[in-house]
Amino acid sequence: MNPAGFSEQVRRAWAIARKDIRIYYIKGPVLIFGIFMPVFLFLAFLMGSRQLPLAFLVSGLVGMALFFTATAVSPAIFPWEGQAKTLERLASCPITVEAIVFGDMIASTLFGIGITLITVIIGLALGLPLLHAITLGTGILLAACCFSAIGMLLAVPPTNTPSNIMMLSSLIKFPMVFISGIFIPLEQMPPWGLALAAFSPLTYFTDIVRYSFTGTNYFPVPGDVAALILFTIVLTAGTMYLHKRTMPKRM
């Protein structure tokens, strides 16, 4: 693809992102779910785990907020549009499947970043010092891209029934939360738990957040960043490839 054609596809992807934000993301129920779901999980765990330091718990809250919000709506966008027959209209336009997927990922990334910044502000309001702001900002950006790719990967099955996708999404997302060091410190996990945690990008983001607030972490920060970059590249490439294969089955 020539540079002019590429820039045109990027412009169309941005139009898709704006459409998604307007139709799917700026809705009361979505915003409430994005903010209160992680907060309620945090409060429930706080009441049962008072011996854990506040910085550990708030770091987990930030990790959950970004993970849940960046994957909250994106898995259901393709089924919704397939159900409404708007996906056929998009596919008939001069836009590539990759650009459509990329546009959905942009919207998911921006939504995740916006909600996560609220949880960071909550942590600061509780008196936690932010020791490494640049590291935290880098981690949030990388993880938002990575988690949005996960959300779009969950939308790959060619079904036009959103409930089927959301059920699959829940079956995958909740186990990831519990193996990623959010509720149990990585240093307290058994070897098999650490082995599972290593396959979750949420593990590395949570580690970055804890380092940003406390200055301590389990993995080296460059390793966390490299892992998020690798996960983002692999998941994005896989998502683009699989959606290109399954798109004709949605029509």
CB 197 within 8 A of CB 189: yes
Q: Residue 229: what pLDDT?
A: 96
Model confidence at 199: pLDDT above 80: yes
Question: Distance between CA 82 and CA 159 in Å, rounded?
Answer: 8
What pLDDT shows up at residue 224? 95
Report the 10 Å Cβ neighbour count for 145. Answer: 23
Residues with Cβ < 8 Å from 117, sequence gap 6 or more? 140
Report how far Cα 156 is from the mean position of its chain's Cα atoms: 16
Whether the CA torsion 165, 166, 171, 172 is positive or negative: it is positive
Report the chain's mean pLDDT, rounded to a whole number. 84
pLDDT at residue 38 in the model: 64
pLDDT value at 166 more than 70: yes
DSSP state for residue 126 in the 8-state scheme = T
| Chain segment 8-55, per-residue pLDDT in tens | 888 888 888 888 888 877 766 666 666 676 667 667 666 655 567 778
pLDDT given for residue 147 in this prediction: 94
State the pLDDT confidence band at 248, using cuts at 50, 70 and 90: confident
State the pLDDT at residue 9: 82
Phi-psi category of 51—alpha, beta or left, where left has phi over 0 and alpha has psi -120 to 50? alpha
* Residue 1, pLDDT above cutoff 70: no
Query: If you compute the radius of gyration of the chain from its CA atoms, what whole number of angstroms results?
Result: 18
Counting residues of the chain whose pLDDT is more than 90, the rounded percentage is: 28
What is the band of 122 on the pLDDT scale with cuts at 50, 70, 90? confident
Tens of pLDDT, residues 69-89: 888 888 888 888 877 777 777
Quote the pLDDT of residue 106.
Answer: 92
3-state SS class at 131: coil
pLDDT at 33: 66
Q: Please give the share of the chain, as a percent, with pLDDT higher than 70.
A: 87
- If one compares 128 and 222, the residue with the highest pLDDT of the two is 222
- Mean pLDDT value across residues 174-198: 87
pLDDT band at 230 (very low <50, low <70, confident <90, very high): very high
Ordered by start, the domain boundaries in the chain are 3-250
For residue 200, the model assigns a pLDDT of 93
Q: Which of the pair, 209 or 128, is modelled with greater confidence?
A: 209
CA quadruple 147, 149, 150, 155: dihedral positive or negative?
Answer: positive
Whole-angstrom distance, CA of residue 86 vs CA of residue 21: 16
